[in-house]
Amino acid sequence: MQSPLDKKRLEKSAERQSWQLHRLMKSTHVTSANDYFQACVKKPKENTMKYHYLLLLLCLALSGCANLYGHFKSTTNDMYEPKDGDRARVRVLNDDISVRGVGLPNSTCFSSLQDEKSGRIDLGFRHRDLKMPDPHRSKEQNEYIRSEFYVRANEPIVLILLGSCGVGMTFVPEKDHDYEVIFHTIKDGNFYQCSRIVHDITNGEAKPLKVRNSPSCPLTWKEQMIGKGK
């Protein structure tokens, strides 16, 4: 069961995101999550510097908007899972069955061109039980969809969760440690917000883990050529 402290942290995080997005929404006359997405892929009618600047901030706040959704929604293969060597275990919990999870091993950013190790974390690993510690007793809660998998220790990994909104994160797992990522979708008026809480749950104690947001990777020469139609 989620503790009152976890809920309080989630609410504070949601409030910060809501404040930023509401200001952008008011300035750009955008009223829904669909409008946010469309704003990223269509030219605005008002050709002003202020509109372009706020629209850029809005797209960045949604973890890359069209680039993120357009590529990772078409990903169907499972993420590579190491079978031996130095490993760590990760449990991902989310409260929305439509959420799509993607893992990018040995990376700190996301790109439209990933190696063969990148892939889905919400299909082949769903409902798997690796006998990980469960300090939040998530297995007793039907509200969560659970995925558990191994990752390479001491190498960065990016986890991206996409649903009505999206969030990406990166961290470096330690050898023989266990981690739990709780992903929530929160509806706020006419749009949705995504929040995530990450804990190191090694030895059954939930310790909050600081993770970084995963930015988009700089365009490679190959990506630039694809963008130019070459």
Does 108 share its domain with 194? yes
Cβ-proximal residues to 178 (8 Å cutoff; 6+ apart), any chain = 88, 89, 90, 91, 132, 133, 200, 201, 202
Evaluate whether residue 227 is within a structural domain: no
21 pLDDT exceeds 50? no
**Which residue would you say has higher pLDDT here, 221 or 96?**
96
**Which residue would you say has higher pLDDT here, 141 or 54?**
141
Task: Please report the pLDDT score of residue 144 as a whole number.
Answer: 82
Alpha carbon distances (Å) from 223 to 12, 41, 71, 116: 38, 18, 13, 16
Task: Please report the pLDDT score of residue 190 as a whole number.
Answer: 77
**pLDDT bracket for residue 149 (50, 70, 90):** very high
Task: Please report the pLDDT score of residue 194 as a whole number.
Answer: 80
pLDDT, one tens digit per residue, over 155-197 is 999 998 887 777 889 999 999 999 999 988 877 777 777 888 9
Task: Please report the pLDDT score of residue 66 as a whole number.
Answer: 45
Evaluate whether residue 198 is within a structural domain: yes
Evaluate whether residue 188 is within a structural domain: yes
Does 198 share its domain with 126? yes
143 pLDDT exceeds 60? yes
Task: Please report the pLDDT score of residue 87 as a whole number.
Answer: 98
Does 37 share its domain with 20? yes
Task: Please report the pLDDT score of residue 23 as a whole number.
Answer: 46
Which one of 47, 63, 79 terminates a domain? 63
Does this model's pTM top 0.85? Answer: no
How many C-beta atoms lie closer than 10 Å to residue 42's C-beta? Answer: 10
Q: Which strand (E) or helix (H) includes residue 147?
A: strand 145-152
Does 78 share its domain with 53? no
Q: How many domains does the chain have?
A: 2
Does 122 share its domain with 58? no
Does 89 share its domain with 33? no
Which one of 15, 43, 63 terminates a domain? 63
Task: Please report the pLDDT score of residue 114 as a whole number.
Answer: 60
How many C-beta atoms lie closer than 10 Å to residue 77's C-beta? Answer: 12
Does 179 share its domain with 109? yes
Among the residue ranges 11-15, 105-109, 117-121, 201-205, the one predicted with the least confidence is 11-15
Evaluate whether residue 47 is within a structural domain: yes
pLDDT, one tens digit per residue, over 22-61 is 444 444 444 333 344 444 444 444 444 444 444 444 444 4
Does 13 share its domain with 97? no
Does 210 share its domain with 162? yes
Residue with structure tokens 């404040």? 19
Does 137 share its domain with 54? no
15 pLDDT exceeds 80? no
Evaluate whether residue 228 is within a structural domain: no
Does 17 share its domain with 90? no
Full residue range of the structural domain in which residue 8 is found: 4-63
